[in-house]
Amino acid sequence: MLDPVIPRPTPVITPELEDTVSAVEARLAALGTALRARDASAIDTEATELHRALARAVDHFALAARHGALPPEMCRRLVTASGRVAAERESLARATAALDRAIDVLMPRDAVTLYSAQGGAQRGPRSGVIQA
């Protein structure tokens, strides 16, 4: 017995999918610019906007997948954008780790407190006892 051939729907690039992928690409480019400029406020804003654009893209692609085939070009662009997001995240994680190491060298976590709240030298539990 032969299995019936189920015709596959032809992928169609809808304006919504194009706009969604373009928004992700634009937000990713803006985040890259903010990172290169080392603008903390812009990085925060652009990261938030990229997160929103990616969430919208996932929603639109899920809806499009339920109603037919996804255009290969749109899928390729979204996968490329996803790869760029992962690369930016890895780069930022490495920079953060390097910064943490530099801070640890400059300000060790287990450093002895040199001054008390009163401004004098911090005294041990046996204050007033001379130790040789």
CA 28 to CA 47: how far, in whole Å? Answer: 8
pTM: 0.64
Domain-located, residue 86: yes
**How far is residue 5 from each of residues 2, 8, 32, 66, 71, measured CA to CA in Å?**
9, 9, 47, 19, 21
The answer to the question of residue 50 being in a domain is yes
Per-residue pLDDT of the chain (132 residues; tens, 9 = 90+): 555 655 555 565 678 888 999 999 999 999 989 988 989 899 899 999 999 999 999 898 888 888 777 888 888 998 999 899 898 889 888 888 988 898 888 887 765 555 556 655 555 555 554 555
The predicted pLDDT at position 46 comes to: 93
Q: Would you state the pLDDT for residue 26?
A: 96
CA atoms within 13 A on the CB side of 119: 0
28 in any annotated domain: yes
Is residue 3 a part of any domain in this protein?
A: no
HSE-CB of 26 using CA atoms within 13 angstroms: 10
At 105 the pLDDT is 87
Is 35 part of any domain?
Answer: yes
Number of domains in the chain: 1
Strand partners, 115: 121
Residue type present at position 123: R
- For 97, the domain range is 15-106
Q: Has residue 5 been placed in a domain? A: no
- Residue 112 in domain: no
Decide if 118 is inside a domain: no
